[in-house]
Amino acid sequence: MNLVIEYNCDQIDWKELTHVVETAGLTPHTPEMFQKAFENSFAVVFLRDGQRLIGCARALSDAVVQSALYDVALLPEYQGQGLGRTLLEEMLRQLPDGNTILYASPGKETFYERFGFGRLKTGMGKFLDPERVRQKGMLE
């Protein structure tokens, strides 16, 4: 494997990114929506195996106290090789010390707990497609 880490959106094929996110089981959006979301983010990380995009993550932040991670995705065939750790470490390195929240896909919570994330007791969410989120087990 020839691992390449990128920290900007300059070379991203948004259709390829959409494929990565959807294949990883996260909420699908159009390539145009992902482009706008990633380009408007505080920080981004992309992982490539050579030229192939294999993972991504983005964060919103006030650059002082609060941050939120979104679209943390890695192609399934690359999971279990330490690349998810690399992706998350590179993203967290760009964020200010402070509070950081994220949505974890059901079954992936223990991965994030290794980085100090804890399960929220009072988290709330308002979603565009609440039934889809409920079916994924993320909403009561």
**Position 20: which residue type?**
V
Please tell me the distance from the alpha carbon of residue 18 to that of residue 16, in angstroms, as a whole number: 5
DSSP string covering 71-112: EEEE-GGGTTTTHHHHHHHHHHHTSPSSEEEEPPPTT-HHHH
Biggest CA–CA distance in the chain, Å, is 42
3-state helix, strand, coil in the chain (%, to 5): 30, 25, 45
112 is catalytic: yes
Phi, psi of 42 (to 5 degrees): -70, -40
Select which of 70, 78, 103, 112 is catalytic: 112
Catalytically active residues are: 112
